[in-house]
Amino acid sequence: AQSVAQPEDQVNVAEGNPLTVKCTYSVSGNPYLFWYVQYPNRGLQFLLKYITGDNLVKGSYGFEAEFNKSQTSFHLKKPSALVSDSALYFCAVRDTGGYQKVTFGTGTKLQVIP
């Protein structure tokens, strides 16, 4: 079975400061990992994914994420937060072997304070 944990329900950060949204995962094989963002009354938007290769993945809107196999983590980061980054962020995992449904985390609300 696969699972995803987002240990923080909410993260507050001051505008201009670096931000980190945490995600850890569990899969039986190798993972495909994704980050999505959800703005109020909207669907999820894809930010970035890890498939293979470089552990640091760059995505949309200046976000990046670091894959750490030993810690089974895939934390989302941004060097300088914007107020407009305030939203709900979901981490998701999918095993690479065969068909597997995507498992989403419970979401982390990011609040960027002006």
Partner 1 sequence: GAGVSQSPSNKVTEKGKDVELRCDPISGHTALYWYRQRLGQGLEFLIYFQGNSAPDKSGLPSDRFSAERTGESVSTLTIQRTQQEDSAVYLCASSLGAGNNQPQHFGDGTRLSIL
Q: What does the binding site for partner 1 look like in residue numbers (CB under 8 A)?
A: 32, 34, 36, 41-46, 49, 51, 90, 94-96, 99-102, 104-107
CB of 3 to partner 1, least distance (A): 12
**Which CB atom, from 62 or from 97, has the smaller least distance to partner 1?**
97
CB of 15 to partner 1, least distance (A): 25
Give yes or no for a contact between 77 and 9, defined as CB atoms under 8 angstroms apart.
Answer: no
CB of 16 to partner 1, least distance (A): 29
**Which CB atom, from 36 or from 112, has the smaller least distance to partner 1?**
36
CB of 17 to partner 1, least distance (A): 26
**Which CB atom, from 101 or from 114, has the smaller least distance to partner 1?**
101
d(CA 24, CA 82): 24
**Which CB atom, from 15 or from 75, has the smaller least distance to partner 1?**
75
d(CA 105, CA 68): 17
The DSSP-derived string for 64-78 is EEEEETTTTEEEEEE
